[in-house]
Chains A and B, each alone.
Chain A
């Protein structure tokens, strides 16, 4: 894992949120961001883009976030890749439901765009103490 967070893949089927996150993380956070509009696109993008971290929407049509993460974990490029869920579901029971899927963190929507990079950096900093667990 690189010492600093530099490349983020954001996965969300909502194009407007993709644009918000890309601009927020690049202009404000100084990160390099690629976006994917589905879990399938993410699985293609990961071995090409080699992100340091994936920010993954939970509720998407076709392949949802947890299933996308499960498939990511079964790829060479994604086996140990930190994945952070982003979701509008903030209820405690629902966050606990996501736990077994091995996310490095969970960010709830709505989020403050200008604060998003700091939140990802904080999760990234915590990973050195708690590396992503194998399934």
Chain B
């Protein structure tokens, strides 16, 4: 393993440790869609999903890209919280699986 591979391996490990906080961000934004600050929550949900779809596959977590992209697109399309639930749940489940991994 060369220096860059070693650097990426360390960063992947670090990314796993950030997933709990990132999951909380996604859940918080999703749960806020129905409230008074729904528009701001939607922007946050789109942003969190967008960042995941860019970062995760760059670090090698390719399974998160499509799931995050689905949440982003559905949120952008204006789906309400209940309609977004399947996509958000799928994303959170995969984040949890990766976060619990080695």
Contact = CB atoms under 8 A, between A and B. Distances in A.
Interface of B is mostly: helix
A88 B55 CA distance: 9
Nearest to A113: B58
A16 interface: yes
B50 A110 contact: no
Given A16-B14, A16-B15, A27-B3, A113 B54 contact: no
B8 interface: yes
B11 interface: yes
Given A23-B4, A27-B3, A17 B54 contact: yes
User: Which bucket holds chain A's interface residue count?
Assistant: 20 to 34
Contact of B59 (A13, A20, A89): A20
Select the residue from A89, A109, A111, A113 with max chain B CB neighbours within 10 A: A109
B79 interface: no
Contact of A14 (B3, B4, B55, B57): B55
A114 B47 contact: no
Given A27-B3, A113-B4, A20 B58 contact: yes
Interface of A: 13-14, 16-17, 19-20, 23-24, 27-28, 59, 61, 87-89, 109-111, 113-114
